[in-house]
Structure 1
Amino acid sequence: MRFIKRPNDVLFRVLVVLASISLAALSLLVIYSVVMRYVFSDAPDFVEPIALLLVIVIAMFGAALKVREGGHIGLDSLVKKLPPKGQLAAMAFQHLCLIALAVAIFSGCLQMVETTMDDRIPILGLPEALRYCIPVVASVCIAMFSLENLLALFVPKQN
């Protein structure tokens, strides 16, 4: 299990740092925008597109982090009533569904990256594809974390 756990540990820490920095930056950006708008009557144009990118980072990386921790939405009340083998099957099915979702997100967003590479985000001038690169990275993380959790179901725990 170490072959996947160690890289996922590093990936997890990187995502925590990036999501945390994005959340802090978003908070500061919103405060700046509010002060500029209501105190100085001069709303900056660049705040909204940057805030949108930060929200995408927070949401997608946060989702990947919760997959690693096993904190995603599930029907625990139903699964807990199943016998142990049924619980194992349900959890395995859940992780397989998450991997399938990650593949779908990866595929769809990769197509959008290719389609929007030449377009620019207004005001910022950055490639529109940047909005879709974030979910591509997050989907790889979701798949890696789900695979780790899936393998952990079938590997005996070591003390």
Structure 2
Amino acid sequence: MWRAFVAFNATISRWCMYVAVAGLIGIVTTVALQVFGRYVLNDTPTWAESTALVLILYVTMLGAAVGVRDAGHIGLESLLILVPDGLRLKLEVVIHVLVGTFGLIMAWNGAVLAESVMAYKIPTLGLPEGINHLPLVIAGILIALFSLEHIVALWRDEDVIPSWH
């Protein structure tokens, strides 16, 4: 069961990065079209800015979740080196519990926020305003899931292998 959980998390993490890279390409393309429209055609596409902003939210939140799994986030490793091994293990578990708790709180409040504005439309896109807040929900759930993987790996005295290896 543990191996399946690790494989699932690695796959989800990898696909989040694929989506984030595609989103980055979308941002660059959208902004390039916006600049071309503004300065060459003197007619800026109305949807370009809103699209780029939505894409930025998804890229940022998915990237943050992957950073938690692949240990790419800011950590306290420099301080943890100074403490004894037994205490270091306990502190690492506390850190992952706090990060996972933050993820769950972020997911919950993101869902409340998304639901509260879902009836409103993004004027230039015609899409529900709530799609701007769904990345909080997705990333929060993934952060909690990835933190749980780190906690179990610490208890099993294993390392979480980044999804890119």
SS at 1:70's partner residue? coil
| 1:71-125 C-alpha deviation (Å, 9 max, x unpaired) | 1111222111111112111211110011110111011111112211211111111
TM-score (norm 2): 0.91
Note the 1:10-89 alignment, pairs <5 A: 10-89=11-90
SS at 1:153's partner residue? helix
In structure 2, what is the equivalent of residue 138 of structure 1?
139
| 1:39-61 C-alpha deviation (Å, 9 max, x unpaired) | 22211111111111100011100
SS at 2:32's partner residue? helix
Would you identify which runs of 4 or more consecutive aligned residues in structure 1 move more than 4 Å? none
SS at 2:72's partner residue? coil
| Count of residues in correspondence between the two structures | 158
Q: For 1:10 and 1:78, how far apart are their aligned partners in 2?
A: 31
Q: For 2:59 and 2:31, how far apart are their aligned partners in 1?
A: 15
Q: For 1:86 and 1:146, how far apart are their aligned partners in 2?
A: 19
Give the unaligned 5+ runs of structure 2.
160-165
Q: For 2:93 and 2:157, how far apart are their aligned partners in 1?
A: 15
Letter of the 1:103 counterpart? L
Give the unaligned 5+ runs of structure 1.
none
TM-score (norm 1): 0.94
RMSD: 1.4
In structure 2, what is the equivalent of residue 114 of structure 1?
115
Q: For 1:75 and 1:92, how far apart are their aligned partners in 2?
A: 12
In structure 1, what is the equivalent of residue 162 of structure 2?
none
Q: For 1:104 and 1:84, how far apart are their aligned partners in 2?
A: 30
The percent of aligned pairs where both chains have the same amino acid is 32
Q: For 2:158 and 2:92, how far apart are their aligned partners in 1?
A: 17
Q: For 2:88 and 2:76, how far apart are their aligned partners in 1?
A: 11
